[in-house]
Structure 1
């Protein structure tokens, strides 16, 4: 079945996820949907110093938004901020240094952010990693899982109270089309069994993010949740984590701005939030989270088990003072 999934997914990707796929889809876009002034609205973007996160921050800053860049590397974050401020003349761009693989630090960051800010209109979970060998963090968590799944879960959970203070609050998580080849596996969240494959671990994390988004939408009715696939974009992360894929596809990849288009659209337009909460978007349209006949659908019991496991792990890594 995995061969079937991978084959169908790659053919779909060549048709839809490439630059030509974006250009074809863009013919149906309504440009005015991004003609929005978001002055006074507060946006927090993780992984915002490069690639799709940076492109998204730039587009939001152009439209007057208050932009909080959450990054791991201070030097690169400050350079991204300077570039965004210089290009947009928007001075309300702020840098926060945070390692999304460290649960206690995330809890502490969220607590401090809520003390310093009276609102958060949009949370964009963009930070991610693809480590191609199994490594453990200082907290003895598998690095991909800690960053992509648990980190996203904790930051979102911790900031829900601040989001709920705002009308039209949104949480958008950057997933990946690779999740289509994965069925949710709640029995081995940290890839302790069998041979480790970083690409498949990443895809599993992205499937978990889709499930989290669907579950959050059921729980938090006052916040609009969505996730999206940026397509195959030419970013530093793709070049470093998937060198073979990049070498094969580099002439067909989307630009970071094209990859960020749906993310920006979900963050600032009113059209995306007219759709039900909890959906998965690609090129400004909700699309299926499963390939035809791929047998990747999880049961309600499995989905509930994922959320309970994440809640337990998040609680176990919560500072006593938070």
Structure 2
């Protein structure tokens, strides 16, 4: 990561680093809810913000489906969550979100095995700093952060629509503020590869997807959020220079998870329109002042169309998936 990019992300992080000040305006009773009978799927829930979110929901009685790529780490996380919450309704699903075909297969199987899903939390993400391809020939950052989220969410929409008070929360990043949606090079085939900027572009793509889904699926409340810059293993590994610069200002995983949990469980959440970008329990602009990062309707349409084409290209051909991509 270049020095200029590090400084830019540092300035953005400074803008949104004060959890203690922000939390002074939080309404405590917003999280005073019972989640017994409600089910939640959380990707990347074996550590960091995902694990903290799963823990908070389990403590309130919710049924938690943790989706992780590493079975052993998932099992350890499950044991810790059950031990701390006293809630045994915690289930492991092993899935690597970078493998798009497997995401499709998992979502189809989950729909057959479960009659409802109240909340989907797209938390898993990756920042691979060198260009790598998955088994389907897709660049790994894009496959995990964008196409995996697209396939999982689109395929689970019918199940969510059948459930009470359905919601989808996607964990984005303030880094997306430095990126405008790029429809011409989704997998960084032509531009120089910078893992930090690829990740930021993916996070901008998540914001755009959320806005589109909110308009197309009015029965479901969609939101996307920036958790603040948290001191998690993923940040330390992917952005060591940034982690070093911000080490005294980074949030804890619990603080990073606060708005995710609030969006997932609070009644106050649905008072806001679907499709907004949140930080510290408040909707905020998805663009910096006087920014050049707004997308035209045409750009958004082209982007969503290309996602659909890429998803269809790796759709399994067995009898489970002979229906149209959006699973309706």
TM-score w.r.t. structure 1 length?
Answer: 0.96
Q: Does 1:226 align with 2:223?
A: yes
Aligned length: 318
* Structure-2 change in CA distance of 1:158 and 1:48 (3 Å): same
Q: Does 1:27 align with 2:24?
A: yes
Equivalent positions of 1:269-284 (< 5 A) are 269-284=266-281
**What does residue 87 of structure 2 align with?**
90
The Cα offsets for residues 117-146 of structure 1, whole Å up to 9 and x where unpaired, read as: 100000000000000011111111000000
Alignment partner of 2:46: what SS? Answer: coil
**What does residue 123 of structure 1 align with?**
120
Offset of residue 244 of structure 1 = 1.1
Alignment partner of 1:189: what SS? Answer: coil
Equivalent positions of 1:1-322 (< 5 A) are 10-16=10-16, 18=17, 21-321=18-318, 322=321
Work out whether residues 5 and 294 of structure 1, in 8 Å CA contact, stay in contact via their aligned partners in 2. no
RMSD: 1.6
Alignment partner of 1:139: what SS? Answer: coil
Alignment partner of 1:271: what SS? Answer: helix
Q: Which runs of 5+ in 2 are unaligned?
A: 322-328
**What does residue 325 of structure 2 align with?**
none
Work out whether residues 184 and 208 of structure 1, in 8 Å CA contact, stay in contact via their aligned partners in 2. yes
Work out whether residues 119 and 166 of structure 1, in 8 Å CA contact, stay in contact via their aligned partners in 2. yes
In structure 1, what is the Cα distance between the partners aligned to 2:24 and 2:213?
32
In structure 2, what is the Cα distance between the partners aligned to 1:310 and 1:227?
18
Work out whether residues 98 and 148 of structure 2, in 8 Å CA contact, stay in contact via their aligned partners in 1. yes
In structure 1, what is the Cα distance between the partners aligned to 2:68 and 2:197?
25
Q: Which runs of 5+ in 1 are unaligned?
A: none
- Indicate the larger mover: 292-301 or 51-60: 292-301
The Cα offsets for residues 254-300 of structure 1, whole Å up to 9 and x where unpaired, read as: 00000000000000001111100000000000000000122111111
Alignment partner of 1:309: what SS? Answer: helix
Alignment partner of 1:40: what SS? Answer: coil
Offset of residue 192 of structure 1 = 0.8
In structure 1, what is the Cα distance between the partners aligned to 2:295 and 2:44?
29
Offset of residue 8 of structure 1 = 6.5
In structure 1, what is the Cα distance between the partners aligned to 2:59 and 2:40?
13
Work out whether residues 144 and 205 of structure 1, in 8 Å CA contact, stay in contact via their aligned partners in 2. yes
Work out whether residues 9 and 291 of structure 1, in 8 Å CA contact, stay in contact via their aligned partners in 2. no
Work out whether residues 6 and 181 of structure 1, in 8 Å CA contact, stay in contact via their aligned partners in 2. no
